[in-house]
Amino acid sequence: MSLHQFIRRYIEIPDKELDAFVSLFKKKSIKKYHYLYREGDVCNELIFLNKGCLRFFYMPHEAEISVWFSFPFTIGSEIQSYISGKPCKFSVQAIQNTEYLYLSKAAFVLACQQQPLLNLFYNKLCEECIVDVIDRLISFQSQTADQRYLELMKEPDYLKLIPQKYLASYLGVTPTSLSRLRRKISLF
């Protein structure tokens, strides 16, 4: 999926306007285990992943807690910081060599002023992020770790690309518990 296709998931926009908008993005790469943002930085870029995987995490009491992953053809911005202009609550780290497109917030705001249809894209993108966060919160409050893992099995990228220690913290269990959970589920 290209950035063009990604945007068209949210809005219908004429080719000429879409091409002009996409041409504003710049390409960049980051190596495995390098940071895109650290907790306390301000995320001022709209980021679209082309390749690789980003992990969003924080460290209460010296233990890393993974809260989100971005895969190719998704947004890789620390969205809370991007929207608010406040420091990141999470660090964002590449867990694979990662390539992405980015656009500064200032350039995006200007593009939205010149092409108001882009505001609809942004609104729909933010709405989708809100729904995803609410779904994740509900899953932690209403599902067991077994149920969360079974749900995660429907997303093969998670199981293929993410190291077990990061998956475990994402599910709210220890790596040992995740190993037991995997064995138990494989027996069925």
Band of pLDDT at residue 188, cut at 50, 70 and 90: low
Question: Which tens digits make up the pLDDT trace of 56-115?
Answer: 999 988 889 999 999 999 999 999 999 999 999 999 999 999 999 999 999 999 999 999
The closest of 106, 123, 107, 178 to 148, measured between CA atoms, is: 178
* Residues 6+ away with beta carbon under 8 Å from 104: 44, 45, 46
| Percentage with pLDDT > 70 across the chain | 99
Contact yes or no for 50/4 (Cβ under 8 A): no
Residue 124 tokens, joined? 């729909």
Say yes or no to pLDDT of 159 above 70. Answer: yes
Tokens representing residue 6 in the block: 């990604």
User: DSSP class of residue 103?
Assistant: E
DSSP 53: -
Q: Which of 34, 31, 8, 36 lies closest to 21 in space, CA to CA?
A: 8
Mean pLDDT over all residues of the chain? 92
pTM above 0.95, yes or no: no
| Strands of the chain, DSSP E | 26-30, 35-37, 45-51, 54-58, 65-70, 91-94, 98-104
| Side chain identity, residue 132 | D
pLDDT interval class at 116 (50, 70, 90)? very high
166 Cβ contact partners less than 8 Å away, ≥ 6 residues apart = 55, 57, 64, 66, 69, 95
**Which structural domains are found in the chain, ordered by start?**
3-115 (2.60.120.10)
| pLDDT score of 25 more than 90 | yes
pLDDT at 1: 76
